[in-house]
Amino acid sequence: MNAVGQNIPHDSARGHVTGESVFIDDMPPLKNELLVDFLPAPVASGKLKSIDLSEAAKVPGVVLLLTDKDIPGHKQFGPVFQDEHLLVEEQIVYLGDPCVLIAAESRQAIAAAKKKVKLDIEPATPIFGIEEAIEAKNFIGPLRTIMRGEPERAMLEAEYTLSGEMRIGGQEHFYLESQAAIAVPGEHGHIAIYSSTQHPSEVQAMTAEILGVPFNHVIVHCKRMGGGFGGKETQAAQPAMMAALVASKTGRPARVVYNKDDDMRYTGKRHPFLNQYTVGFTRNGLITALRVDHFSNGGCTADLSLAVMERAMLHTDNAYYLPNVHITGQVCRTNLPSNTAFRGFGGPQGVAAMENIIESVALHLGLDAMDVRRRNLYGVEDRNITPYGQVFKNNVLPQLFDELSRASDYANRRRQINAINQTDRFRLRGLACTPVKFGISFTKQHLNQGNALVNVYTDGSVMVSHGGTEMGQGVNTRVRQLVADEFGIDWKNVYVTTTSTDKNHNTSPTAASTGTDLNGAAAVVACEKIRERLRAFASQHFSDSSAALAALPGNIVFQDGHVYDDRIAGKKITFKELVAQAYLNRINLGERGFYATPGVDYNRDTGKGTPFLYYTNGAAVSEVEIDRFTGELRVTRVDLIMDIGQPINPGIDRGQVVGGFIQGMGWCTTEELKYGPGGELLSHSPTTYKIPNISDVPAVFNVRMLDNPNSSMSLKRSKAVGEPPLLLGLSVWAAVKNALSYIAPGTIPDLQLPATGEQILMIMTKLQAAGKSNRAVLSPAAK
C-alpha cells in the first residue's frame, strides 16, 4: 500500500507526547558552557556615544562582555540589504537594539551585569507609525507598481466609485519555543551551531560572515522548532550569531535562549499595513476599476519587507478579476524591531484590503457581499488573467463557492440573520464568506530550489536529509511517505534526520508553503536515481537466458517491501535482500537529489510575470455574534472548504488548515499589539497578547477538502497548504463588518483590523448615535 495519501502520524508525535522531543534548551548543558544574553538599548532612536563596562565586568560569574568593536568579521548583514547590525556601533534604531553581549556562568550574573553597564546615549526622536514615516519620507526600497488596463480612465467612467482606507495590525508569531541557539566551538576555528531556525543556510552564512571565517567552517543543525510561522526565517540568525561570537572568543560552548518577554519585545512581527483605495464598480457590484496604495511598517531595517510588500501586491486581487487596476506598495522605515516573515507573508494584508473593498461595495449598493464576490470571481475560461499577467489555470473557485454556499446553508442563514438583527436587543449577528487564491512559489526565483540526500543502508533502511526544517508542519513526515513509496517499502523503514548544512547546503528557507514541494521533490529525484541503479542490478538478477528473458530495467517493480520483474509471476526478492546484494556488487546506494521549480519568474520592475507554479484555493463562511452592550465577539459557526489537491498526508494537512484558520482568526480579532509612547511593546506576553484559546474554536466548525484530482504541475498532485488557510480568518473579520452594518443601514462601518471587542463597541456606539438621527434603530437603550 502506498504511504502517500495515508494519515500516518507525525514523525515526532511520540516524542512530543512523552516529552522526549528535544528542543534547543532541552539539550543538557555541555561542560563549561556559558549563558549569553544581550543588553537592549533603552531608547528607540539615538546615538550610542560610549559604553562603560568596568562595573559589569566585576560582577562575579561574568566571563565576557562584547561590543560592536569586538566583531571580527562583517558588522553589517541582512537577507536582502546589508543594513542590519548585530550590535550597535553608533546608531540605535529600535528599542531593544543589542548594545552589549554578556556571557556568564549563570542567569543571575547576567541579570546583575545588565544593571551595571553604563550606556551614554544621545536620544533622537523616533518614528513609529506609518503616517509619520510617510510624512518624513522614511522609506525602505522603491515604490513598486502592478498595473493593468486603463485604471484612470475606467475610474472616471465608473458607474459608482468609493474611496477609503484601512489600517491592518501586525501580529506576534507567538511560536512557543522562543528564539534559541547553542554554539559549540570546534578545532581550527570551526563551529557547530544548534539553532531553532527555518533557514539553516542563512544562519550558517551570517555566522561565518560575522566571525570572518569561510562558510565551510560553520555547520548549522536544526532538529525541530517549537513553532516558526516565519519568525525564524531570518531572525533566528541573531541569537545564533551571539552564541557563535561568544563561543569563538572563549572557546567555550555558549547558549542563547530568549525569554518570552524579550522575544516578543525585540523581534519582528507581521507587518502592519495601511491601504488607501478607490474602487469603481457597476450597479451590480462588478468592479471595473481599482486603485490601491499599500504602505507597510517595515520597522528599522529591510529584512524581508520588500518581498512581503510584493506578495501583498500580488494578492490584492485575491480571487477577483480586475480588468483595470493600479496597485502600489511602499515600505516605511520606523524605529520598531524589523518586521519580518509571518505565515502568509504579505498575502493576508493584500487580501484584507480587497475583502474590505468588496464588503464596502456590497454595503454601498445594498447587495449581499456573497453575490458581489461571485460576480467578481476569476473565470474558468475567460477573465482568468491576473493583474501581473499570470494565467490562473485550473480555477476551482466557482465550484468552491457553490459547494460552500450549499454546505453552509448561506441563503437561509442570511435570511434568519436579517430577521433576528431587527428584533434581538442583546445580540447582533453577522455572516460573511471570503475566498483565498494563494500563489505557491517564492517570488524570488532563485529560492525555488531544494536538495535532499538519500542513503539506503544494507539492511534496507533508509535515511533521508533535506534542506527543509521541521516546525510542526510535518515536512519530515511527508518526505518520509514520499521516499517510502519510491522504494515501495514501509514508511517505518524511512527515517528523516536532522537538517544540517553539511548534509544539505545552499538551501532555501522553509517558507512560502514550499517545504514539501521543494524538498520532497528533491528527495524523489534522489530516490529515482538510486532506483535506476537498483533496477539495472535487479533486472540482471531476474533475467533468465533459458527462458529468453532479457534484463529489462523498465520492468522492475518496487512494491510492498519487495522487488520483482513484472513479467515473472511469483518470483520476488525483498528490498532488503536486493540492497544487500547491490552493496556487495558495489552499486552506489546513496544519492543527492536536486529540484528547481520550472518556469516561475517575476519582474518586479515591470510588475509582470508568472511568479507562481500554481494556486492553492479555499473559502470560508463565518458567522459571528456580538454583544450589543459590550462589543464582545464570538465566532459561532465556520464552514470552510479547501482545495489542496491530493494531500500527501490528509491528517497533517487538515491540521495545517485548521491551525492556519485559527491563527488567522486571532490576527483578525483578539491579537493586538499595543505600544507605549517610547515604542515599548506593552503586550509582550500571553497575559496581555491574546492568541486564540481552545474555547474560541467555533462551536460549529465544518472543515472539508475539495476532492480535486488536481492537474497542476505539483508533487504527487498535492498542493501546498501551510499559509493559504490563514487568510480565511478574514471571513471572521468580514462577518464582524457585516454585523455592524445592520446598526445604521447605509453607513459603511469603519472597521479596522483586528476587530477587537473594544473597537467593535466604539464603532457600535458611534453608529448607534448616527443611526438614531434618521431612523429608529435597535440599541441597548431602545426597548
Partner 1 sequence: MRDHVLLYINGRPEEVRGERLFQSLTDFLRYDRQLVGTKVVCAEGDCGSCCVLIGKPAGDALEYRNVTACIQYVYQLDGCHVVTVEGLRQGGQLSCVQEAMISCQGSQCGFCTPGFVVSLHAMLETRMKLTDADLRLGLSGNLCRCTGYESIIKAGVESDITNLRRANELYPPTALLSQLRPAADESVRVEHAGRVFFKPTTVDEAVRFKSENPGCIIIAGGTDLGVVMNKGKLTPTIVMSLAGLASLKSVRVEGTTLSIGGLASLAEMDVACETHLPEMSKLLRRHGSPPIRNAGTLAGNIANGSPIGDTMPGLYVLNAQIELTGTPGVRRVNINEFYTGYRKTVIRPDELITAVHIPLPAAGDAYRLYKISKRYDLDISSFSAAFWMRTSGDTIESIRIAYGGVGANILRLRKTEALLAGRPFSDDLIDRAATSARGEITPISDVRGGKDYRLQLGENILRKFFADREDNEVLTPSPGTPGEGGGEGSVAIRSAPANLQNSHPALSRDTGRGFNANGQERA
Say how far apart CA 338 and CA 307 lie, in whole Å: 14
Binding to partner 1, residues 567-626 (CB under 8 A): 625-626
Number of residues lying near partner 1 (CB under 8 A): 89
Interface with partner 1 (CB under 8 A), residue from 135, 459, 632, 707:
632
Closest CB 71 distance from partner 1, rounded Å: 29
Coil, strand, or helix at residue 155? helix
Say how far apart CA 186 and CA 133 lie, in whole Å: 46
Grid-cell match 457553490, residue found: 402
Residue 229 lies near partner 1 (rule: CB under 8 A): yes
Stretch that binds partner 1, among 23-31, 213-221, 574-582, 602-610 (CB under 8 A): 23-31
Binding to partner 1, residues 246-265 (CB under 8 A): 259-261
Closest C-alpha to 124, from 46, 71, 199: 46
Beta-bridge partner residues of 181: 195, 256
Residue 674 lies near partner 1 (rule: CB under 8 A): yes
Residue closer to partner 1, measured from CB, 362 or 471: 471
Residue closer to partner 1, measured from CB, 364 or 690: 690
- Sheet with 449-456, edge to edge strand ranges: 494-496, 462-466, 449-456, 590-596
Interface with partner 1 (CB under 8 A), residue from 472, 609, 647, 679:
472
Interface with partner 1 (CB under 8 A), residue from 216, 693, 711, 774:
693
Q: Which of 84, 359, 672, 723 is catalytic?
A: 723
Dihedral angle of Cα 743, 748, 753, 755, to the nearest 10 degrees: 0
**Residues whose CB is less than 8 angstroms from the CB of residue 43 and which lie 6 or more positions away in sequence, other chains included:** 92, 95, 121, 123, 126, 678
Helix, strand, coil proportions of the chain in percent (round to 5)? 35, 25, 40
* Residue 173 main-chain phi, psi, to 5 deg: -60, -40
Coil, strand, or helix at residue 242? helix
Residue closer to partner 1, measured from CB, 141 or 348: 348
Residue closer to partner 1, measured from CB, 411 or 762: 762
Closest C-alpha to 444, from 346, 343, 512, 351: 512
Residue 174 lies near partner 1 (rule: CB under 8 A): yes
Strands, E assignment, 335-468: 427-440, 449-456, 462-466
Stretch that binds partner 1, among 17-25, 66-74, 265-273, 400-408 (CB under 8 A): 17-25
Say how far apart CA 490 and CA 485 lie, in whole Å: 8
Coil, strand, or helix at residue 276? strand
Instruction: Lay out the site mask for partner 1 across 44-63 (x = CB under 8 A, - = otherwise).
Output: --------------------
Closest CB 17 distance from partner 1, rounded Å: 4
Say how far apart CA 614 and CA 513 lie, in whole Å: 12
Closest C-alpha to 79, from 336, 304, 236: 304
Stretch that binds partner 1, among 173-181, 349-357, 507-515, 547-555 (CB under 8 A): 173-181
Closest CB 431 distance from partner 1, rounded Å: 15
Instruction: Lay out the site mask for partner 1 across 59-98 (x = CB under 8 A, - = otherwise).
Output: ----------------------------------------
Residue 14 lies near partner 1 (rule: CB under 8 A): yes
Name the region of 460 (left: φ>0; alpha: ψ -120 to 50; beta: rest). left
Instruction: Lay out the site mask for partner 1 across 646-665 (x = CB under 8 A, - = otherwise).
Output: -----xx-xx--xxxxxx--
Residue closer to partner 1, measured from CB, 39 or 306: 39
Grid-cell match 543594513, residue found: 83
Dihedral sign for Cα 313, 318, 321, 322, please: negative
Instruction: Lay out the site mask for partner 1 across 105-144 (x = CB under 8 A, - = otherwise).
Output: ------x---------------------------------
Question: Residue 731 in contact with residue 432, Cβ under 8 Å?
Answer: yes
Residue closer to partner 1, measured from CB, 97 or 177: 177
Stretch that binds partner 1, among 170-178, 322-330, 442-450, 714-722 (CB under 8 A): 170-178
Mutual angle of helices 515-542 and 475-487, in 10-degree steps: 20
Alpha carbon of residue 629 to chain centroid: 36
Binding to partner 1, residues 376-435 (CB under 8 A): 425-427
Residue 695 lies near partner 1 (rule: CB under 8 A): yes
Residue 30 lies near partner 1 (rule: CB under 8 A): no
Residue closer to partner 1, measured from CB, 332 or 764: 764
Stretch that binds partner 1, among 207-215, 363-371, 472-480, 543-551 (CB under 8 A): 472-480
Q: Is 671 a catalytic residue?
A: no
Residue 224 lies near partner 1 (rule: CB under 8 A): yes
Closest CB 749 distance from partner 1, rounded Å: 16
Closest CB 61 distance from partner 1, rounded Å: 14
Distances (CA, A) of 483 to 4, 81, 463, 527, 598: 9, 38, 10, 7, 22
Instruction: Lay out the site mask for partner 1 across 292-331 (x = CB under 8 A, - = otherwise).
Output: ----------------------------------------
Q: Which residues have a catalytic role annotated?
A: 723
